[in-house]
Amino acid sequence: MLDLIWLLPTFPLLGFLILALAEGKLAKGPAGWIGAGSIGLSFVVAALVAVSFLQSGLESHTVPIWMWMSVAGFDPGINLYLDGLSLVMILVITGVGFLIHVYSTGYMADDPDFSRFFCYMNLFVFAMLLLVLGDNLLLLYLGWEGVGLCSYLLIGFWYDDPYNGYAARKAFVVTRVGDTAMAIGLFLLFAQLGTLNIQDMLHAAEAEWAVGSALPAITALLLLGGAVGKSAQLPLQTWLPDAMAGPTPISALIHAATMVTAGVYLIARTHTLFELAPNVQLLVAWVGLITLLMAGFTAMTQNDIKRILAYSTVSQIGYMFLGLGVGAWSGAIFHLMTHAFFKALLFLGAGAVILSLHHEQDIFRMGAKRKQLPVGFLCFLIGGLALTAFPYTSGYFSKDEILIAALEVEGQGLWLWLGGVIGAFFTGIYTFRLFFVVFFGESRGHHDAKEVKGLNIALPLFILMALSLFGGWIPVPLDAVFSHGAEHEEHHISAFMHGVMIALPLFGIAISYLFYGSGILSAEKLMSLPGSRALHRFWNSGWGMDRLYDFLFVNPFLYLARVNAKDIIDAFYDMLAALSRAGHLLIVRTQTGYLRWYVLSMAAGLVALISVGVLL
């Protein structure tokens, strides 16, 4: 059964090929069946594989499929590598992916490019599965770039609007910065260790490199560069909010549940390297912490329902990075999984709300929609509770694990913990600000909203609701993967600390209730305080990062491009051209067009010739 892993990426690939070769001539019914069905088959295979893998008790299993190339000792194969980590990933990708595909058949039903959408989606799932199943870094990189491409294609899916194209380009270019770092990291790893097979490489690294030496630090740093690009962490986080230009299921699948967590996967996969470089690992924690706080502030000031969720995603991935940084490897992956559940739920719920309100995305033009949109209301209630780590929802377990691990870090542990808890507090505020503004208060528009009907929309939502609520009880089989890292021991923290961790998000919910639910406190009054408006603007613009990058990189680059538009090297060739043109203008004067002139020159030539003959 385990050898059937190769079927996993095959089904989406087939789906992609069929849809691509049909060139959009397929009717929507078959296209939807092929698009969603291929992922469904993949999920069935993944479930069967999971069962047999867990029963077999193996630590890992490799299925060689093909030799990619073999050149002078460099022989990366197309081998699929299955262990606890990739098992979790494939289950999340195919499971959540399948639900989102089913949902999309309803959501995109009216779109003329229906089959193109599923074509890209299937390609994405294929690439993502390659990414998590690849046993060497090259195959991983192939999948990595593949998902980047799909992300680009799907953000710019509605390419009629130039803004969408701009957002797609931005996402592509910004992640490319990280990918370049990652590629250099791969080169360095291969040059130093002679292999790109992940397991061999990690063993070699452990054997050859001392803890804290320079080489693992550099390589870990380069891989971290790739990870922050893909996972939208500081300093490359600016692309994710703009990526919301794509259709909402895309935001759910690619920009919340799966692709953006590829960075987390990469670091977890190469965690041995990071353990060899404790400083870089600590950097990972701080990157995550700062990102989650900044994104939290920004999310509180956004009005667009999808951008709020986007910043929330950035923030939650920040938690995962925090978890990775403090050595809570399985905690981070656990949070990845639960986050996939509840963030997919929130995005799909948001999609249902948006669709019901005729593509309205401004939360301040909704209001009091809980009666009209009961399913959306339920989505946001459950998803929001899970997101804010309400006790015994899925988010609670995973976030708990990360924060407790953070506390145990020597020296800076308390700070990391404190930052994480404050972030959780912000999470409560911005999540329920969204919740209260949309579903409570008075209706501020779209009074005639009607819930979108259809089983293919509702069913995935209900399944995701269940997963968001109870996903925390799912045991993740990660002990074998990370066993040789930090020893697992029972965490003991004081009841007070635990209490704070539970209470602060609830406190956040209470505050947003006061502001937006009951109207006891007023945001307008807060805004009238001196300086608050500027602060709001600052946070709303995502801490001015876009403007900073425009100033630091984009504008200088544009300036240089403008300067060099008349290529400096060209000047030399232009000079040659000008010279020959001048010579031409000089000589062309002899071509007067007058016959007599030509006869005259001939006669003069004759005279000259005879002179030469006579004189010599």
Binding interface with another protein (CB under 8 A): 587-596, 599-600, 603-604, 606-607, 610-611, 614
Look up residue 26 and give its DSSP letter: S
Would you state the structure tokens that stand for residue 256, as one six-digit string?
Answer: 């919340």
Phi-psi group of 232: left, alpha or beta (phi > 0 → left; psi -120 to 50 → alpha; rest → beta): left
- Answer yes or no: are the C-beta atoms of 319 and 396 closer than 8 Å: no
Contact status, residue 124 vs residue 154, Cβ threshold 8 Å: yes
Nearer to another protein (CB atom), residue 560 or residue 607: 607
Closest CB 602 distance from another protein, rounded Å: 10
Q: Which is nearer to another protein, 559 or 598 (by Cβ)?
A: 598
Closest to another protein by CB, 212 or 583: 583
Query: Least Å distance between CB 605 and another protein?
Result: 11
- 77 DSSP β-pair partners: 67
Smallest gap from Cβ 582 to another protein, in A, equals 14
Q: Which is nearer to another protein, 27 or 603 (CB)?
A: 603
Gap between the Cα atoms of 353 and 366, Å rounded = 9
Closest distance between another protein and the C-beta of residue 588, in Å? 4
Tell me how far apart the alpha carbons of residues 333 and 284 are, in angstroms, rounded to a whole number. Answer: 15
Query: Shortest approach of another protein to residue 573 CB, angstroms?
Result: 24
Please tell me whether the peptide bond between 235 and the residue prior to it is cis, using omega within 30 degrees of 0.
Answer: yes
Task: Report CA-CA distances (Å) from 24 to 113, 396, 439, 514.
Answer: 7, 44, 38, 51
Strand (E) or helix (H) holding 535: helix 532-540
Rounded least distance, CB 599 to another protein, Å: 5
The residue among 56 and 601 lying less far from another protein, judged by its C-beta, is 601
Q: Which of 8, 35, 26 is nearest to 456 (CA)?
A: 35
Phi, psi of 494 (to 5 degrees): -70, 155
- Side-chain-side CA neighbours of residue 582 (13 Å): 6
Smaller CB separation from another protein, 213 or 611: 611
What is the nearest approach in angstroms of another protein to the Cβ of residue 157? Answer: 58
Q: How far is the CB of 592 from another protein (least distance, A)?
A: 6
SS3 category, 108: coil
The least distance separating another protein from the CB of residue 615, rounded to whole angstroms, comes to 10
554 or 603: CB nearest another protein: 603
User: CA Rg, the chain, in Å?
Assistant: 30
Residue among 54 and 604 whose Cβ is closer to another protein: 604
Least Cβ distance, residue 578 to another protein (angstroms) = 18
Compute how many other C-beta atoms are within 10 angstroms of the C-beta atom of residue 529: 9
Rounded Cα–Cα distance for residues 482 and 523 (Å): 46
Q: How far is the CB of 187 from another protein (least distance, A)?
A: 59
Residue 179 and residue 145 in contact, taking contact as beta carbons nearer than 8 Å: yes
> What is the total residue count of the chain?
616
Contact in structure between 454 and 360 (CB atoms under 8 Å): no
Query: What's the half-sphere exposure (Cβ side, CA atoms, 13 Å) at 611?
Result: 6
CA distances from residue 490 to 408, 417, 487, 493 in whole angstroms, order as listed = 12, 18, 10, 10
Sign of the Cα torsion 373, 376, 382, 383 reads: negative
Q: Closest CB to another protein among 211 and 603?
A: 603
Given the complex with another protein, which of 414 and 607 has the nearer CB atom? 607
Minimum distance of another protein from residue 595's CB (angstroms): 5
Q: Considering the complex, state which of residue 554 and residue 608 has its C-beta at the smaller distance from another protein.
A: 608
Residue 171 C-beta: closest distance to another protein, Å: 57
Indicate left, alpha or beta for 360 from its phi (over 0: left) and psi (-120 to 50: alpha): beta
Give the nearest distance from C-beta 167 to another protein in angstroms: 56
Task: Pinpoint the alpha helices (H) of 302-393.
Answer: 305-325, 329-356, 374-387
Q: Where are the beta strands (DSSP E) in 392-448?
A: none
Tokens of 485: 């890292």
- Nearer CB in complex with another protein: 564/592: 592
Whether the CB-CB separation of 335 and 261 falls below 8 Å is answered with no
Closest CA to 359 of 452, 464, 225: 452
The b-or-e profile of 246-280 (16+ CB within 10 A means b, else e) is bbbbbbbbbbbbbbbbbbbbbbbbbbbbbbbbeeb
Q: Which is nearer to another protein, 358 or 596 (CB)?
A: 596
State phi, psi for 78 to the nearest 5 degrees: -90, 85
Q: Which residues pair with 134 in a beta bridge?
A: 80
- Smaller CB distance to another protein: residue 483 or 592? 592
Which of 301, 346, 365, 360 has the alpha carbon at shortest distance from 533?
301
Of 214 and 604, CB closest to another protein: 604
What are the distances in angstroms from CA 259 to CA 148, 169, 372, 478? 8, 17, 33, 20
Q: Give least dist CB 579 to another protein, A.
A: 18
